[in-house]
Amino acid sequence: MPLLSNNPPQQCRWHSFNTTAELEQAATQAILQAALQAVNLRGTFHIVLAGGTTPRHVYESLRNADTDWAAWHVYFGDERCLPADHVERNSWMAAQAWLNHVAIPQTQIHLIPAEKDGQLAASAYAQTLAGIELFDLVLLGLGVDGHTASLFPGQELGNTSNAPAVIVVENAPKYPPQRISLSAHRLSAARKVIFLVSGATKQQAVRNWRNRVAIPAAAISPTNGVDVYLEAALLA
């Protein structure tokens, strides 16, 4: 993969933790801190959720949070093109772990309609996002190949200023092949971005990232940089 030499350097702050539990606790606290700040300043908190399995325990911890749920607006960074109630949906995991257990108004939980035709889903979700100039917080995962959301190596990342907010992914190497993803450009329109990275399988992706290899995660370049929460062992 090419180096990132011709892109503005992504500002990356690496936060390493001795255990996964410590990482998850710190991530939960960072989310609630971002929420408190956003609600105090603007009366609302717009958060984009990561998919996959890494965030599960963080989402479960949020069930017990003392926060103004009525001010929360939840979005998804990507969604798998599966039936709305399919257990492999990112929205299903977030609902089971957290959203079904707190009083965020249903009208403020903005699911990606990925059960629909791809382009229809992408267009509909772009409309949903149209009113949000900057997300307050974007949570992202990291795949073993360096993907994030459903932005995969060698595929369209949508990392130019004229990129659409939402893109249809047709042949993802990670099941299912069809997905709907926010573009790198749209994911970068955020006050804060936190990557949650856990597990030995992510070591090579982290090494590539730190060696400025052009993995998709490195295409997320918000003005304030990104914070990567990971286990210390992954920095070895």
Per CB under 6 A, residues contacting ligand 6PG are 50-54, 78, 80, 90, 141-143, 147-150, 174
Q: Which is nearer to ligand 6PG, 73 or 80 (CB)?
A: 80
Q: Which is nearer to ligand 6PG, 51 or 222 (CB)?
A: 51
Q: Which is nearer to ligand 6PG, 148 or 221 (CB)?
A: 148
Q: Which is nearer to ligand 6PG, 104 or 139 (CB)?
A: 139
Residues in CB range of 6: below 8 A, 6 or more apart: none
Which pair of tokens denotes residue 146?
């360096």
Q: Where in the chain does DSSP place strands (E)?
A: 12-17, 45-49, 72-76, 78-80, 137-140, 166-169, 179-182, 193-197, 226-231
d(CA 211, CA 220): 16
Q: How far is the CB of 154 from ligand 6PG (least distance, A)?
A: 15
Q: How far is the CB of 55 from ligand 6PG (least distance, A)?
A: 7
Q: Which is nearer to ligand 6PG, 150 or 188 (CB)?
A: 150
Residue with nearest beta carbon to ligand 6PG: 141
3-state secondary structure at position 56: helix
Q: Which is nearer to ligand 6PG, 80 or 192 (CB)?
A: 80
User: What's the Cα-to-Cα distance from 177 to each of 111, 114, 122, 169, 173, rounded to whole Å?
Assistant: 19, 12, 16, 7, 6
Q: How far is the CB of 215 from ligand 6PG (least distance, A)?
A: 12
Q: How far is the CB of 41 from ligand 6PG (least distance, A)?
A: 29
User: What's the Cα-to-Cα distance from 183 to each of 16, 76, 108, rounded to whole Å?
Assistant: 27, 12, 21
Q: How far is the CB of 86 from ligand 6PG (least distance, A)?
A: 12
Amino acid present at 118: G
CB 78 within 8 Å of CB 90: yes
Q: How far is the CB of 101 from ligand 6PG (least distance, A)?
A: 21
